[in-house]
Chains A and B, each alone.
Chain A
Amino acid sequence: MNPSVDEAVRDAPQLVGLFVATMPDCLLYHSWSRSATEWAADEVAGYFGDLIRANREGLRALSAWSADMQVTIESRDALVVLKELTPSFAMGCVFDRNAPLGLVRLHMKRLVDRVTAALPDVAPAERSRGEKIVEFLERYAPDPHAVLLRVSLRTGLALDRLRDASSLSAPEVESVERVACQLLGLAKLAV
Chain B
Amino acid sequence: MSVESLRTFDKAQSLTFLAGIPYVYHCHHYNLFHDQTVDDALGDEAGLEVRTRSARNAFRSVLEAASKELHATTPVEKVQLARELFPWMGLGNLDISTSAFGGEARGATLHYGFSWREKYGAQVKRTLPADAVASGFAAAVTEVAYGLPSGSAWTVEEECVAAKAAQCRFRIERRPLGGWEEPLPTVIDTAAAIAAAGPPERGVDEDRIAKIGSGLTDFMKGVRGDERGLVQAFSVFVAAQLSSYYNESIFEMITRLEKRSPELAPVAEDLAREAGRVCVFNTFGNVLLSPEWEALVGPLGNDPADIVSFCLAIARGLGFGHWYLHEYEPRKRFVMRASSSYEVPFYVSRYGKADRPRGYFLGGSAHAIAALAEGVRWGERPKLDGELYMKLLGGRNRAHVEQTKCQMRGDEISELVVTLP
Contact = CB atoms under 8 A, between A and B. Distances in A.
A153 B264 contact: yes
A159 B393 contact: no
B89 interface: no
B126 A153 contact: no
Interface in B22-36: 33, 36
A158 B262 CA distance: 12
B153 interface: no
A150 B124 contact: no
B268 interface: yes
B391 to A, nearest CB: 10
B386 A156 contact: no
Interface string A131-165: 00000000011111110011011101011000000
- Which of under 10, 10 to 19, 20 to 34, or 35 or more describes the interface residues of B? 20 to 34
B263 interface: yes
Contacts of B36: 143, 150
Given A142-B120, A145-B394, A185-B127, A153 B263 contact: no
Contacts of A158: 263
A185 B125 contact: yes
B40 interface: yes
Contacts of B394: 144-145
Nearest to A145: B394
Contact of B390 (A144, A159, A182, A186): A144
B124 A149 contact: no
B28 to A, nearest CB: 13
Nearest to B257: A153
Nearest to B394: A145
Given A142-B124, A146-B274, A158-B263, A153 B390 contact: no
A78 interface: no
B123 interface: yes
In this complex, which of A140, A141, A156 has the most chain B Cβ atoms within 10 angstroms of its Cβ?
A156
Nearest to B274: A146
B389 interface: yes
Given A145-B274, A146-B274, A183-B124, A153 B386 contact: no
B261 interface: yes
Interface residues of A, number: 20
A183 B36 CA distance: 10
Nearest to B29: A143
Contacts of A140: 123-124
B338 interface: no
A183 B128 CA distance: 11
B218 to A, nearest CB: 34
Nearest to B124: A185
Interface string B111-145: 00000000110011111000000000000000000
A152 B127 contact: no
A103 interface: no
In this complex, which of B40, B386, B394 has the most chain A Cβ atoms within 10 angstroms of its Cβ?
B40
B261 A156 contact: yes
B264 A156 contact: yes
Contacts of B268: 153
A115 B399 CA distance: 46
Contacts of A156: 261, 264
Contact of A153 (B40, B124, B278): B40
A185 B390 contact: no
A184 interface: yes
A184 B390 CA distance: 20
Contacts of B33: 143, 146
Contacts of B123: 140, 142
A107 B270 CA distance: 54
Contacts of A149: 40, 267, 270-271, 274
B41 interface: yes
Given A144-B386, A149-B274, A154-B40, A159 B125 contact: no
B274 A185 contact: no
Interface of B: 33, 36, 40-41, 43-44, 119-120, 123-127, 261, 263-264, 267-268, 270-271, 274, 278, 386, 389-390, 393-394
26 contacts: A140-B123, A140-B124, A141-B124, A143-B33, A143-B278, A144-B386, A145-B393, A146-B274, A149-B267, A149-B271, A149-B274, A150-B36, A150-B40, A150-B271, A152-B264, A152-B267, A153-B264, A154-B43, A156-B261, A156-B264, A158-B263, A182-B44, A183-B124, A185-B124, A185-B125, A185-B127
Interface of A: 140-146, 149-150, 152-154, 156, 158-159, 182-186
Q: Top 6 nearest A-B pairs by Cβ distance?
A: A185-B125, A145-B394, A185-B124, A153-B40, A150-B40, A152-B267
